[in-house]
Amino acid sequence: MIRRHRQARRFILRVSGETIKLTIPTRGSARRALLWAQTKADFVEAELARAPFPKPFEAGASYPVLGQERRFVVGGRGLAEVLGGEVRAPLRAAQDPGPSFERAIRHAVKQAVLEDLTAFWSQLGVAPGRLTIRGMKGRWGSCGPQGQTSINWRLAFAPREVLRYVAAHEAAHRIEANHSARFWQVCERLDPDYAELDRWLTEHGRELFAYGRTTRR
Ligand SMILES: [Zn+2]
């Protein structure tokens, strides 16, 4: 994909997922830009390799869910659930078990986070709030003024302590509704490893969006 950009002073090459974007200044020569881009093949290849491969929810797949490697299986009646080493979808969902697997994981995330949040809320001496599990694109959690907390269900695929840290982070927003030094002090009280876990999310967060996908982008 080639775009012209008024503010661009030079050629810029960006790779996002499987899309390669070449930006050139308004009066720049497209031919020269393409020749230039060809000299960057190594960079493009390395960037493309970084795009996470899709990890679809299919019977037979195994992924880490809430800190434990679990196998996705279809069978039986009842509700979809995360139980022991399995994520199970009922037999009636056999045609397309993906949504049932997702429902099971969201439910398990809600239970796990509610347990963490309840402990953090009580440690901070604030009233229990409401918890919603969501599929936000660009954030891991949020916390409203009355303690309405949202958590991104894809954190299910992060190490368990990362999910707990996000719960601590949102609980800390009950005390400080910002990211000031005081806020981070509250975070540290709830989770002494907060800085390292926050860094894990910055470095690996995008990989979590590969779970449940069937295509690369
Ligand atoms: Zn925050």
pLDDT of residue 216: 64
Which residues have CB under 8 Å from 102's CB, separation 6+?
Answer: 57, 153, 212
Q: What is the dihedral of CA 69, 106, 161, 184, to 10 degrees?
A: 160
End-to-end CA gap in the chain: 16
DSSP letter (8 states) at residue 206: G
Q: How large is the average pLDDT for residues 125-152? A: 94
- At residue 145 the predicted structure's pLDDT band, cuts being 50, 70 and 90, is confident
- At residue 3 the predicted structure's pLDDT band, cuts being 50, 70 and 90, is confident
Cα 169 to middle of ligand 1, angstroms: 6
Q: Which domains does the chain have, with CATH numbers?
A: 2-50 (no CATH), 62-210 (3.30.2010.10)
Cα 179 to middle of ligand 1, angstroms: 6
Cα 138 to middle of ligand 1, angstroms: 13
Cα 128 to middle of ligand 1, angstroms: 18
Cα 112 to middle of ligand 1, angstroms: 20
pLDDT of residue 50: 67
Cα 173 to middle of ligand 1, angstroms: 7
Cα 178 to middle of ligand 1, angstroms: 7
Cα 143 to middle of ligand 1, angstroms: 8
pLDDT of residue 16: 67
pLDDT of residue 217: 54
Q: How large is the average pLDDT for residues 93-119? A: 97
Residue 70: phi and psi, rounded to 5, are: -135, 145
DSSP letter (8 states) at residue 105: H
Cα 176 to middle of ligand 1, angstroms: 9
Query: Which tens digits make up the pLDDT trace of 191-212?
Result: 999 999 999 999 999 999 999 9
Cα 145 to middle of ligand 1, angstroms: 13
Cα 139 to middle of ligand 1, angstroms: 9
Helix (H, G, I), strand (E, B) or coil at 62: strand
Strand partners, 21: 14
